[in-house]
């Protein structure tokens, strides 16, 4: 993609494909002398060697920003630091992070946006017209929402904030980079609202068990992704309950905090 060259962005993709990681975890580098790294990825030696090598070609790393503390995005941090040396690490909630980042912070060339939903500590990073979305928005498919307190409402609010930005390139945690960020962000927001509409319709028809609700509103989800859909259903139910829109007897999946990728 020409925009990657135009904005001096490079992807180093880990060899960890799967139903949740798609073609693998994307680790991004932006700029030179020094460059900045977004997500070290999983603890795979060959991947970390490539990532460290690309950073050195770009004049070394000025910092490592972590979108969220899931192993496929942050698990390789210790190994990457061993290869790069003493490099600042910024994240919302990770023990080895030297810089604790919150919404509105600046970390090198990266502006920090809190994007809870997929994980409570999730951050997106913006550099000029480029956004690095981690697992808040993927290059294809959708993401599950972890049923943490206020997760779905916070996620929708974050999407609305990002939609308002003037962006030209979206670099996701999995899948291809996209050259129409606003369209993708709107698609993600509308997808969540459509699931909510389908869930409300199922509740209005009298369905109450979590299995019935899942089949009605997430019937298109393949079996391997059903646990993730259950987590997202729980997040939707929590949002409806918080808004006083959940009918009596509606069953929330008993899954607590979903710990998937």
Q: In the prediction, which pLDDT does 256 show?
A: 52
Q: Is residue 244 part of a domain?
A: no
Domain that holds residue 130: 2-181
pLDDT in tens, 135-181: 999 999 999 999 999 999 999 999 999 999 999 999 999 999 999 99
* 68 domain residue, yes or no: yes
Q: What is the largest CA-CA distance in the chain?
A: 61
Looking at residue 258, its pLDDT comes to 47
Distance CA 102, CA 60 (A): 25
Rounded CA separation 243/237 (Å):
10
Q: Under the phi-then-psi rule, with left for phi > 0, alpha for psi from -120 to 50, and beta for the rest, what region is 172?
A: beta
Task: Look at the block and give the residue holding tokens 């997760």.
Answer: 151
pLDDT digits (tens, 9 = 90+) for 71-128: 999 999 999 999 999 999 999 987 777 899 999 999 999 999 999 999 999 999 999 9
- Does residue 79 sit within a domain? yes
> Would you say residue 70 lies in a domain?
yes
Per the domain annotation, does 55 fall within a domain?
Answer: yes
Token couple for 7 = 């904005």
Structural domain includes residue 258: no
Residue 250 falls within a domain, yes or no?
no
Q: Return the CATH number at 150.
A: 3.60.15.10
Number of domains in the chain: 1
Asked if the structure places residue 132 within a domain, the reply is yes
């Amino acid at each position: 993609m020409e925009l990657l060259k135009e904005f001096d962005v490079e992807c180093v993709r880990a060899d960890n494909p799967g139903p949740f990681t798609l073609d693998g975890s994307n680790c991004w580098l932006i700029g030179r002398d020094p460059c900045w790294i977004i997500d070290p990825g999983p603890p795979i030696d060959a991947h970390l060697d490539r990532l460290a090598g690309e950073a050195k070609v770009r004049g070394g790393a000025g910092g490592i920003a972590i979108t969220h503390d899931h192993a496929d995005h942050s698990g390789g941090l210790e190994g990457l630091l061993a290869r790069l040396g003493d490099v600042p690490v910024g994240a919302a909630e990770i023990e080895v992070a030297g810089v604790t980042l919150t919404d509105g912070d600046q970390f090198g060339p990266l502006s920090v946006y809190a994007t809870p939903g997929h994980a409570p500590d999730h951050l997106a990073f913006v550099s000029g017209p480029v956004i690095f979305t981690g697992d808040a928005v993927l290059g294809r498919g959708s993401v599950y929402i972890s049923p943490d307190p206020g997760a779905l409402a916070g996620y929708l609010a974050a999407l609305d904030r990002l939609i308002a930005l003037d962006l030209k390139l979206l670099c996701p945690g999995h899948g291809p980079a996209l050259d129409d960020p606003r369209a993708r962000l709107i698609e993600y927001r509308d997808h969540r609202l459509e699931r909510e509409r389908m869930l409300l319709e199922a509740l209005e028809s009298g369905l109450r068990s979590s299995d019935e609700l899942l089949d009605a509103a997430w019937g298109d989800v393949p079996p391997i992704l059903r646990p993730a859909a259950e987590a997202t259903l729980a997040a939707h139910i929590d949002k409806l309950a918080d808004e006083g829109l959940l009918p009596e007897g509606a069953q929330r999946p008993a899954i607590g905090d979903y710990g998937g990728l």
